[in-house]
């Protein structure tokens, strides 16, 4: 029986090893004003993302048109620390609702496929699109 338990432990799916990742909502950092930090996160399906209200006045919410198939939208309250578990594989777009038009956005890659420009919907506010393109450029440079 012991051997069997050990064997099962080796075969546990990745979900059993789910991690929690932290994202801070800030007024400013080296990338500019109103950032999520980090602004590009790679996680595995079943991982949790904790949004921390490090500076006041922000929230974290999904962007319409940037939720992978099977995923559910989420909307945090202003100044609220929220945790979301992301099961749906693909690229998730996250915004701060009051600062969306100022470009306060981030991308979360769930699974192995990196985000590309094709993941950005046409109706993003210009500053949000600009920030996302900068995020993608920075990823390429890394
Ligand atoms: Cu904000």
Give domain limits for the chain: 19-141
Q: List, for residues 69-84, the tens digit of each pLDDT value.
A: 999 999 999 999 999 9
Neighbouring residues of the ion ligand 1, judged by CB less than 5 Å: 58, 96, 99, 104
Look at residue 77 in the predicted model and tell me its pLDDT: 98
In CATH terms, the fold of domain 19-141 is: Immunoglobulin-like (2.60.40)
Task: Kindly give the distance from the C-alpha atom of residue 115 to the centroid of ligand 1, in angstroms, as a whole number.
Answer: 22
Is the predicted pLDDT of residue 23 greater than 60, yes or no? yes
Q: Is 99 annotated as a binding residue?
A: yes
Give the C-alpha separation, 139 to 136, whole Å: 5
Q: How confident is the model at residue 142 (pLDDT cuts 50, 70, 90)?
A: confident
- Centre of ligand 1 from the C-alpha of residue 40, in Å: 16
Please give the Cα distance from 54 to 68 (Å, whole number). 27
C-alpha triplet 73, 130, 140: angle, nearest 5°? 90
Find out whether 104 is annotated in a ligand binding site. yes
Task: Choose among 106, 10, 120: nearest CA to 59.
Answer: 106
Known binding residue 102? Answer is no
Answer yes or no: is pLDDT of 1 > 60.
no
Overall average pLDDT of the 37-43 stretch: 98
Is residue 95 within 8 A of residue 65, CB to CB? The reply is no
Q: pLDDT category, 17, cuts 50, 70, 90? A: confident
Q: Which residues are within 8 A (CB) of 117 and not within 5 positions of it... i.e. 6 or more apart?
A: 133, 136
pLDDT band, residue 34 (cuts 50/70/90): very high
Q: What is the pLDDT of residue 140?
A: 87
Closest CA to 41 of 88, 138, 89, 110: 110
- Chain-centre distance for alpha carbon 35: 12
The answer to whether the CB of 53 falls within 8 A of the CB of 79 is yes
pLDDT at residue 8 greater than cutoff 70 = no
Model pLDDT, residue 105: 98
Q: Of all helices (H) and strands (E), which one includes residue 28? A: strand 28-29
More confident residue, 13 or 105: 105
């Amino acid at each position: 029986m012991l051997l069997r338990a050990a064997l099962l432990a080796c075969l546990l799916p990745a979900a059993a090893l789910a991690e929690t990742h932290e994202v801070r909502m800030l007024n400013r950092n080296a990338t500019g004003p109103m950032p999520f930090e980090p602004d590009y996160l790679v996680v595995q399906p079943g991982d949790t993302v904790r949004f921390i209200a490090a500076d006041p006045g922000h929230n974290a919410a999904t962007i319409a048109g940037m939720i992978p198939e099977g995923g559910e939208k989420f909307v945090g309250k202003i100044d609220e620390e929220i945790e979301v578990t992301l099961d749906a594989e693909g690229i998730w777009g996250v915004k701060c609702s009051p600062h969306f038009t100022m470009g306060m956005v981030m991308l979360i890659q769930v699974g192995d496929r990196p985000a590309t420009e094709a993941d950005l919907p046409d109706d993003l506010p210009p500053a949000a699109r600009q920030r996302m393109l900068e995020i993608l450029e920075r990823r390429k440079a890394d």
